[in-house]
């Protein structure tokens, strides 16, 4: 097992003569082990790990300059939206939000200043699926970069670099860590210039994960495939159950044949993931909130991707920082409920939802 190098510094043989590590903000062997593992999973040459998914996003965004345009999905993690609009937009980075399932909207948003396509797929929380290959082809054709936030799928289900993306980003807090016991982030790429800029950010701004956190994430990743298999199997059964339930309105799950981008998901994902969102037929925010506090196995909590199933109300929780108008424009109703399906017994999970409906 990779040891936990719980140190802030390293003894040198002579000034600046050392074994590859001089100071732990810059590098740590436990972190290196994690970076190599994630790079391998994503088919990347290299990976840089960060203290959180948001810190990873922050480091990427610092590669851009005032008046640069970034085109992003209008349905994405609320914290990403907050980072874009409240931290980087005031520095004059120009963000345009479009429905990326419609490539024409991306083409219309493109101008000479555009530098990056920021893709999240499946999207959070509406589980739309964006055609990665189509968008990375467009990016390459126009000589701009593309990034895929692969948090919802994990590298077990989807490998964006193979589909032409320049960078793949993770909140390792989720499926990679897998046990809701650690916060972390990562960016993997095979582009040397990008990696040099990211390493510069790591060294200079220092939002790095501690060695214990790297160890926990390394340990979590060992069971990624078995966790994903079980979670996806449960998610499929739960999506079917919801789809046939008289109290349920819309069910968002890429594995349902009725899902608008089911074919795209089939093409670019190994399986359909373990996130499901749905609305109640009684389309009220109150009923949705009440439902989320009635489950007993699904714990009411933010986050996703752990072995335990979670339930949440995106409009007031993960996406609370998005103004209501922006949420509505993206199609995120106040009555939406989001499930992160874990590895528990499938019947127990369905029974739990059933008793909450009752």
The contact set with ligand PLP (CB under 6 A) reads 52-54, 77, 79-80, 120, 124, 149, 151-152, 171, 173, 183, 185
Among 58, 69, 75, 77, the one annotated catalytic: 77
Other CB atoms within 10 Å distance of the CB of residue 52: 19
Q: How far is the CB of 152 from ligand PLP (least distance, A)?
A: 6
CB burial of 63-78 (b: ≥16 within 10 Å; e: otherwise) equals bbeeebbbbbbbbbbb
Residue with tokens 């937009």: 89
Catalytic residue flag (residue 25): yes
Backbone φ and ψ of 337, nearest 5°: -120, 140
Catalytic site includes residue 294: no
Q: How many other CB atoms are there within 10 angstroms of residue 239's CB atom?
A: 26
Nearer to ligand PLP, 338 or 356 (CB): 338
Q: Yes or no: say if 151 and 204 are a contact pair by the CB < 8 Å rule.
A: no
Pairwise CA distance, residues 68 & 76, whole Å: 20
Out of 58, 68, 75, 149, pick the active-site residue. Answer: 149
Q: Which is nearer to ligand PLP, 265 or 356 (CB)?
A: 265
Among 64, 74, 63, smallest CA distance to 101 is for 74
Residues 353 and 355: their CA atoms lie apart, in Å, by 6
Question: Which one of 174, 236, 327, 338 is the catalytic residue?
Answer: 174
Closest to ligand PLP by CB, 21 or 101:
101
Between 154 and 295, whose beta carbon lies closer to ligand PLP?
154
d(CA 168, CA 22): 28
Residue 4 CB, nearest approach to ligand PLP (Å): 20
How far apart are alpha carbons 284 and 40 in whole angstroms? 45
d(CA 355, CA 60): 44
Please say which residue, 37 or 72, places its beta carbon nearer to ligand PLP.
72
Query: Which residues share a beta bridge with 141?
Result: none
For residue 347, the minimal CB distance to ligand PLP (Å) is 28
Choosing from 25, 36, 229, 287, the catalytic residue is: 25
Minimum distance from residue 304 beta carbon to ligand PLP (Å): 6
Q: Which helix (H) or strand (E) holds 193?
A: helix 192-205
Give me the residue label for tokens 């874990």.
342
**Before 109, cis peptide (omega within 30)?**
no
Query: Quick one: 171 or 180, whose CB is closer to ligand PLP?
Result: 171
> Shortest distance, CB of residue 115 to ligand PLP, whole angstroms?
20
Smallest distance from ligand PLP to CB 20, Å: 28
CB of 36 to ligand PLP, least distance (A): 20
In total, the chain counts a number of residues equal to: 358
CB 10 within 8 A of CB 19: yes
Are 261 and 129 contacting, i.e. CB atoms less than 8 angstroms apart? yes
- 77 or 253, CB closer to ligand PLP? 77
Known active-site residue 199: no
User: Per the structure block, which two tokens stand in for 23?
Assistant: 């100071």
Q: Are 297 and 344 in contact (CB under 8 A)?
A: yes
Q: Which active-site residues does the annotation give?
A: 25, 77, 149, 174
């Amino acid at each position: 097992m990779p040891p936990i190098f719980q140190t802030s510094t390293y003894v040198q043989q002579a000034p600046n003569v050392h074994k590859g590590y001089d100071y732990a903000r810059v590098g740590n062997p436990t972190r290196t082990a994690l970076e190599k593992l994630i790079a391998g999973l994503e088919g990347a040459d290299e990976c840089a790990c960060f203290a959180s998914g948001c810190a990873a996003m922050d480091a990427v965004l610092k590669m851009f300059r005032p008046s640069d345009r970034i085109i992003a999905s209008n349905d994405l993690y609320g914290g990403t939206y907050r980072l874009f609009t409240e931290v980087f937009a005031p520095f004059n980075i120009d963000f345009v939000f479009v429905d990326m399932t419609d490539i024409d909207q991306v083409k219309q948003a493109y101008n000479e200043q555009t530098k990056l396509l920021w893709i999240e797929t499946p999207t959070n929380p509406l589980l739309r699926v964006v055609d990665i290959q189509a968008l990375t082809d467009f990016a390459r054709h126009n000589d701009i970069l593309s990034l895929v936030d692969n948090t919802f799928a994990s590298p077990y289900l989807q490998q964006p670099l193979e589909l032409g993306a320049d960078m793949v980003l993770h909140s390792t807090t989720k499926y990679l860590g897998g046990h809701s016991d650690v916060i972390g982030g990562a960016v993997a790429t095979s582009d040397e210039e990008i990696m040099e800029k990211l390493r510069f950010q790591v060294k200079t701004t220092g939002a790095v994960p501690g060695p214990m956190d790297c160890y926990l994430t390394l340990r979590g990743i060992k069971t990624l495939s078995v966790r994903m298999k079980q979670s996806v199997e449960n998610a499929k059964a739960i999506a079917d159950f919801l789809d046939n339930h008289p109290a349920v309105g819309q069910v968002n799950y890429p594995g349902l044949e009725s899902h608008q981008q089911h074919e795209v998901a089939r093409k670019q994902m190994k399986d359909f993931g373990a996130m499901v969102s749905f609305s109640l037929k009684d389309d009220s925010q109150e009923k949705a909130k009440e439902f989320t506090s009635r489950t007993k196995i699904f714990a009411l909590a933010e986050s996703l991707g752990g072995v335990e199933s979670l339930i949440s109300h995106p409009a007031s929780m993960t996406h609370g920082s998005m103004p209501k108008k922006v949420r509505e424009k993206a199609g995120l109703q106040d009555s939406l409920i989001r499930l992160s399906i874990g590895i528990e017994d499938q019947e127990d999970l369905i029974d739990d939802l059933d008793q909450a409906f009752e």
